[in-house]
Structure formats: C-alpha cells, structure tokens
Structure 1
C-alpha cells in the first residue's frame, strides 16, 4: 500500500470544504491495516478514518494520517426460519448495498434508501430516516483494534446505540475501525409507511405497498427535498432533532400550535429541528458562503469556497436563534475533525 503526502480532500467530503490531508492512504485489506500499525514512522501520527465523507466537517488542514476505508464485498451469510443474515464490508456504498438487498429479496432497509455514505459509517452514526434506525437491523459489527490489529465482534447491545449515536462515536472513537457489518433482516414484510410522506408518495405514484416501492418512494422524497452534493455541497441533515419532555412539548404547543413532534419513548418527544430552524427564519438564508437550504431548513449548504470556520459560525448562529425563540437546544449531527 502507498502513503501519499499532501492530498486534497475537497472532493472527499460532501460539503465540498477545502481541505488537505497531511498523509493519506486507502485501506483495502486487513493486511494493509497491519502494515500501517507496524510502520514505525506512523506511531506518532494521529489517525483519521474516512468513509464517504458525508457526515463530516473537515478543517482546512488535517494533521496526521487520513485512512480511506475502501474494502468492499457483500453476501448472504445464512438464513433462519424468520430472518436473513447479510454481511457487507465497511467500504461499500450504503445506498448501493440497500438496493442490492432489495434486488435479492432481503427487505428491512428500504426506508434508509439514498442516505449518503458507507456501510461502515452507518453504525457509527446509527443512521435513520422515515421512522427507521439502522440499529433495528444490525446483528453485529466487526471492529479492528487500531493499536493491535485484532478483530473484535460487537453485538448489537455492545454497540450501545442511541439517537444518532453509538459506542463507536463515543468511547470507541479513534480506537476501533469498523471492518464489516452483519444485518439481521426479517422475512416477514412489515412496512413502515407512517413517517413523513412515504404513504402519500406511494399513492401519488400509484405504487403497490411493498419494500421495493417504499424504497422508490423514499428516493423520490429525498431527491425532491435534499440537494445533490454533486450540485451543491451539503452533509444532509445537519442538526439532530431535539428530544424534550412531554411537559415542555405541551408548553410549546400552546404558543406554537403547528409545532411538529413525534413520540420518542419514556414520556419524551422528538421535535422536528427543520421546523424550528424554519420558524427561526433561517430557511434559505445565507451567512457568508454557507446557508440553510431553501427547500429544507435542516440542511446546511456550501454555496462555494466555504471553510470549516464558515460552517461552524453558521451552525452556532442557528442554534442560538432557535434557543432564543423556543428555549430548545439543537446540536449539529456531523462529526468534527
């Protein structure tokens, strides 16, 4: 494997931020990783693991070694009476993998169609959309200890999933590289159509209610609301939906009858951050070279030439304005290097 100095990362993050890696390499096999671990010249370098760059805010210069995870492969491991067990390597494109499962008749991931990024990043962020979180289908995750190169299998429980969070984003950050993910997909079809406009989109297109068509509907909805990173830089939904108590939600409803909320278990409610940001006046507004998307206030976009500083200045202003108006704290979702 080769290690390259001074590599431009501007096309390797969907926000399109100007960034350069001090050192850069691509990882295709465990042997490659072992070679990195045993290389004495890299002992004092900080390592950064790069997937699809879709949930990431890069600084202008990334000090240390950027490791692009590029291992690919997907397969049906085995099946039981009620489930399929499917494994995908971390470097696989997430949406390509979802479409592959549907083509082979393995359903359960259809609501997560068209989410940018890689399979390896999915458990880190516990990606979710349209009423589904990936934690609901993950059986186990294979991680690699970045100090020893030893493989470790994490059960679903050991991944410690929560809303847009996991062990790999918290205590395990920088300690483990996700190598592959095994999914447990149900054979009994149970469609989730009641979140967002999924059911309406199926009706609009005159489509039968089945997993493949749910995927088509989700792709159509996302394409209509979210900008294509190839056209305008963005990291998808930039802020997490805040979770509040039932009493706080009721107080807000008295002032704002149109408040959008969803049950979040244990007497908690999830508020739609996009609605809050829109009502705070940020939808379609700019601050320097960045702004909030005109069609979806939850999406921060790079209009060209932005830096990480520009992104964080806007994020801080949006958070402050939402807090001032609603008394609710929202926080960014992307990882900050």
Structure 2
C-alpha cells in the first residue's frame, strides 16, 4: 500500500533547492504501486505529477494534486552473450550509480554519460547525451504504465521517437505514461569513445594514452565537476536551456555579423549553436540577480545562491530568453520542466 503525505516539503526531492510544498506526495516502488497512485488520484479527483530525481525541474508554484516520486529500483541481467548484455533497470535508479555499476561489471557504452544527474527513467524521456554519446544508442525498450488504462505498455527504440533532448514522452505522449523499467543493450567489449575533444585533452593531461572505459568515465567526471556546480552546494538543475539548431542560411548570416559564433553542422542541414555562448555574449555569465544568476563557469546553468524562489529563477530565464532573441534573433528553449 502506498503512503500518502499531505503538505509535504519537497526540499529533499529536487536539486534547485527552491521552496515548494506538494499538496499530496507519495513514493512508488513497484508497478502495482504506480496503479495504486493512479487510483488514489482518480478517486480523489487529483492531478498527477510524476518525477524521479528532481534534477530537471523548477517549482515555480507549489504542485497541486498528487506528486509521485518514482523509486522503482533493481538491475537485472535479462540475457547475455560473450559480446553484449541486456539489462533491465528500475526507473528510480540513480543514473550515475547505474553507470558506475556497469563499469564495475565491465558493461560498456554509457561511460561518456557519467555524472549526469537524474534517474534511469528520465534518461530516455529526454534522450540524455554528452561527449559524443546519446542514450538512444544503447536503448532497447522501456515499460511504462498508461495513466488512463493502467496497462503496462512497451516502447521500442523507434517508438520512442528520440530527438535532441527529447522523445515521444516529451511531445505527443507527454503526461500519458509513467515509466517503470528501462532495458539497455551494453557491450562487454571495451571500445572507448574519445571523439569529443575535451575528453581526449583531459586524458592527455592525465597522462593516459590507451584509455579504458573507466578512464573515459573519470575524465568526464573531471570535466563536468570543473564546469558545473554541485547541486548539493549550489542549487541548480544543470543545463537550463537547449542548444538551438538554426537553418544554415541563418547561421551564415549571423557569422557575418558575429564572426566568432561557434556552430556544428547537423545531419538535417541545420547548425547547432551553443546556448551557453549566446547567453555569455549577452553578458549573463557570472551575473547575479537577487538570489539567482547564471553560473560563473557555465552560463547555461542557472543557480540558486541560497534563498531564491522558483518564480525568481523563472523570471531570470525570461530575461535571458529576451536578450538572446534581441541580439541574435534566436529563440532559446528551456530544457528544465517548469511546474
């Protein structure tokens, strides 16, 4: 049986550290408890809010209805050969802990995704990616409970419609499902991906010429730790904005006006421009506004310096969106979910 708490403080359930009180809150640990939570919300005519590690959410308001925290854990070997292994992982497992588990068991393919905050269930929702790797490359399928029918349904790689930091669960199926378990196919043959410049540079600084997957993970951890603030010390939700992709003609036009603007050509003939660079050019990097601001080492990260309210951080994001649009004509999109 699920336990329901009223007027629950969400301070320990999200990484931004802004004040927020859930009208009702429950933690779920199984598929059956997902169904119990759905039934409770339905019978009490409550809205259902679901999240995992709370590392990609900003509470602008106190969430009304029933807030469900996914705590489904467990890592199981489904099948394996000499070359690869299929793992079924509970959606409530902490992502970085899962990465370290895989390295300990010599399962490879996600070491470049070390230290990404959040849970395993959130990983396919936004197709997490970093340093040359995206989750869709190792994803097999996931099982999720439909919020209306309470049926457990399976989504394969194609059905998830993965895109840049998105999936069907952030678009057409948003708020329709609660993810229970995720299956991955990982390699048992080490093949470190050091194509991303920062990784190879860091490995060189570490004096490593023939890196193992563990070395790659350590390099990524070092890079991320040097650039991104620890949420335990400064409240944040990682990258607040997505890197925008713009038409190549628009990029060429901007290049004549801003010769230093970086850009990375995409398969769809667009050009991806680093949002952090755009924000920095608008003077936001390291700038404090009241209790919030853009971090001094990474302008893409908005932070809570101690007593910020969600609305204050949201208002800062609005100012940043406007300044980037005014200067570059580019509309940034928030990566963080606003509640």
TM (normalized to structure 2)? 0.95
Cα deviation digits, residues 93-144 of structure 1 (max 9, x gap): 0000011111111111011100000001111111111121111211101111
**Greater shift in the superposed pair: 181-190 or 17-26:** 181-190
TM-score w.r.t. the length of structure 1 is: 0.96
2:201 paired residue number: 200
- Aligned equivalents of 1:184, 1:45: Cα separation in 2: 38
Report matched runs for 1:284-303 at 5 Å.
284-303=286-305
The correspondence for 2:228, drawn from 226, 231, 234, is 226
After superposition, the C-alpha distances for 1:257-304 in whole angstroms (9 at most, x for unaligned) are 322222221211111111111111100012221100001111000112
**Kept in 1: contact 2:285–2:297 (CA 8 A):** yes
Whole-Å Cα distance in 2 between the matches of residues 39 and 237 of structure 1?
A: 34
Q: Distance in 2 between matches of 1:285 and 1:261?
A: 25
Aligned to 1:193, the other structure's residue is in SS state coil
d(CA) in 2 for partners of 1:239, 1:220: 22
Alpha carbons of 1:321 and 1:70: their partners in 2 closer, same or farther (altered >3 Å)? same
**How far apart are 1:250 and its partner, in Å?**
2.1
**Cα displacement (A) at 1:188:** 4.5
Contact 1:107 1:186 in 2 (8 A): yes
Instruction: Find the counterpart in structure 2 of residue 309 from structure 1.
Output: 311
Give the secondary structure class of the aligned counterpart of 1:309: helix
Structure 2 Cα separation of the partners of residues 265 and 40 of structure 1 = 43
Distance in 2 (CA, whole Å) between partners of 1:256 and 1:189 is 42
Distance 2:330 2:43 in 1: 44
Offset at residue 80 of structure 1 (A): 4.1
Partner SS for 2:159: coil
Shift of 1:81: 5.9
Aligned to 2:136: 135
Following superposition, the deviation at residue 195 of structure 1 comes to 2.2
- Verify the 8 A CA contact 1:18 1:60 in the aligned structure 2: no
SS at match of 2:168: coil
Supply the distance in 2 between the matched residues of 1:32 and 1:254 (Cα, whole angstroms). 57
**What secondary structure, in the 3-state scheme, does the structure 1 residue paired with 2:169 have?**
coil
Aligned position for 2:60 = 59
1:305 to partner: Cα distance: 1.7
Q: Is the 1:55–1:334 Cα contact (8 Å) retained in structure 2?
A: yes
Separation in structure 2 between the aligned mates of residue 224 and residue 69 of structure 1, nearest angstrom: 30
Superposed, 1:1-337 pairs within 5 Å as: 1-39=2-40, 42-80=43-81, 82-207=83-208, 208-337=210-339
1:217-261 residue CA offsets vs partner (Å, 9 max, x unmatched): 000000000000000000001110000122222222223232222
Query: Over aligned residue pairs, what C-alpha RMSD do you find?
Result: 1.6
Question: Is the Cα–Cα contact under 8 Å of residues 60 and 314 in structure 2 kept in the other structure?
Answer: no
Q: Distance in 2 between matches of 1:108 and 1:13?
A: 28
Question: Is contact 1:57–1:336 with CA below 8 Å preserved after alignment?
Answer: yes
Q: For residue 63 of structure 1, give the secondary structure of its aligned residue in structure 2.
A: coil
In 2: Cα distance, 1:7 partner to 1:250 partner: 51
Whole-angstrom distance in 2 between the partners of 1:4 and 1:40: 13
Q: 2: CA distance between counterparts of 1:266 and 1:78?
A: 36
Which residues of structure 1 form unaligned runs of 5+?
A: none
Structure 1 pair 327–59 and aligned structure 2 pair: CA distance change class (3 A): closer
Partners in 2 of 1:289 and 1:209 — Cα distance? Answer: 42
> Which secondary structure state, in structure 1, belongs to the residue aligned with residue 184 of structure 2?
strand
Alignment: residue pair count: 337
- Whether the aligned pair in 2 keeps the contact of 1:49 and 1:66 (CA below 8 Å) is yes
